[in-house]
C-alpha cells in the first residue's frame, strides 16, 4: 500500500509513530517512523524520474478493491514530465529517509494536488508527515480551508485527520474533501485553482 492523491485520488498511509531513529543500514520492515527520521525538501527538475517511480510504486502497491489491470492503467496515466509545472512552481515536497526519496506531495493555492508514498514505506507515517507539510504550505498561503480529492479507499484516513466530504463521487473515482486548518481566519492570497 502507498499513499496516493492525484488524478484518481489518494490511497492512504496511516501510522502511529514510534520513538526510534533509523540508520541507513536499518531494515525498515513494518516499523513506524518518527517525523524526525524524515527529511523534506523542495523538488527540482532532476527529481521527475524519482517522483514518477514513487508514484508508480505507490499505485501498484494498492491492495484495496482495485484489480491489477486497473492499478496498472492508473500508474500509466502520467509520465515523469507530467509534474514539470508543479516542480518548476515550487509546489512539490519530497520526503526522504536515510538519503532515499520515499514519498512526495504537491499543493497549490488551497488544494493538495498529489500525495504518494512508495509502497515499500507505506503505513509508517510518511504520508501523514507529508500531508502535515502540505497543509502548512496551504495555511502559509493564507487559506483557512484545504481541499483534496480522495480515492474511496482513502476516505477513512482523511476523515481521521479532520477532512470531510465536500461533494459527490467524481467520474474519475475521486471524492472531494475539505478540512478547516487551525489558526485565525485569513483571506486567500491567490484565487482558488484546481489541479490534478
Q: Tens digit of pLDDT for each residue in 11-22?
A: 333 222 222 233
Query: Is 136 in a helix, a strand, or coil?
Result: helix
Radius of gyration of the chain (CA): 16
Find cell 481521521 and name the residue.
Answer: 160
- Of the two residues 32 and 100, the one the predictor is more confident about is 100
The answer to which of 38-42, 130-134, 188-192 has the lowest mean pLDDT is: 188-192
Give tens-digit pLDDT for 133-189. 999 999 999 999 999 999 777 788 889 899 999 999 999 889 999 999 987 655 555
Name the nearest CA neighbour of 75 among 120, 118, 29.
118
**Nearest-angstrom CA–CA distance, 31 and 37:** 12
Task: Catalogue all structural domains in the chain, each as residue range(s) with its CATH number.
Answer: 35-142 (3.40.630.30)
State mean pLDDT over 17-37. Answer: 44
Give tens-digit pLDDT for 49-90. 999 999 999 888 876 667 888 888 888 999 999 999 999 999
pLDDT score at 21? 33
What global pTM score does this model have?
0.76
Amino acid at each position: 500500500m502507498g499513499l496516493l492523491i492525484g488524478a484518481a485520488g489518494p490511497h492512504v498511509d496511516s501510522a502511529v509513530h514510534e520513538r526510534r531513529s533509523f540508520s541507513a543500514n536499518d531494515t525498515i520492515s513494518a516499523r513506524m517512523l518518527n517525523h524526525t527520521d524524515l527529511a523534506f525538501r523542495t523538488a527540482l527538475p532532476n527529481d521527475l524520474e524519482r517522483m514518477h517511480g514513487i508514484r508508480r510504486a505507490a499505485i501498484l502497491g494498492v491492495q484495496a478493491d482495485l484489480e491489477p489491470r486497473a492499478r496498472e492503467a492508473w500508474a500509466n496515466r502520467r509520465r515523469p514530465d507530467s509534474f514539470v509545472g508543479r516542480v518548476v512552481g515550487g509546489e512539490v515536497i519530497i520526503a526522504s529517509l536515510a538519503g532515499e526519496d520515499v514519498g512526495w506531495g504537491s499543493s497549490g493555492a488551497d488544494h493538495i494536488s498529489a500525495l504518494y508514498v512508495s509502497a515499500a514505506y507505506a503505513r509508517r507515517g510518511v504520508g501523514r508527515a507529508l500531508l502535515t507539510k502540505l497543509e502548512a504550505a496551504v495555511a502559509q498561503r493564507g487559506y483557512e480551508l484545504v481541499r483534496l480529492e480522495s480515492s474511496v479507499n482513502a476516505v477513512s484516513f482523511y476523515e481521521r485527520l479532520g477532512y470531510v466530504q465536500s461533494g459527490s463521487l467524481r467520474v474519475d473515482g475521486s471524492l472531494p474533501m475539505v478540512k478547516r486548518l487551525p489558526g485565525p481566519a485569513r483571506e486567500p492570497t491567490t484565487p482558488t485553482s484546481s489541479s490534478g
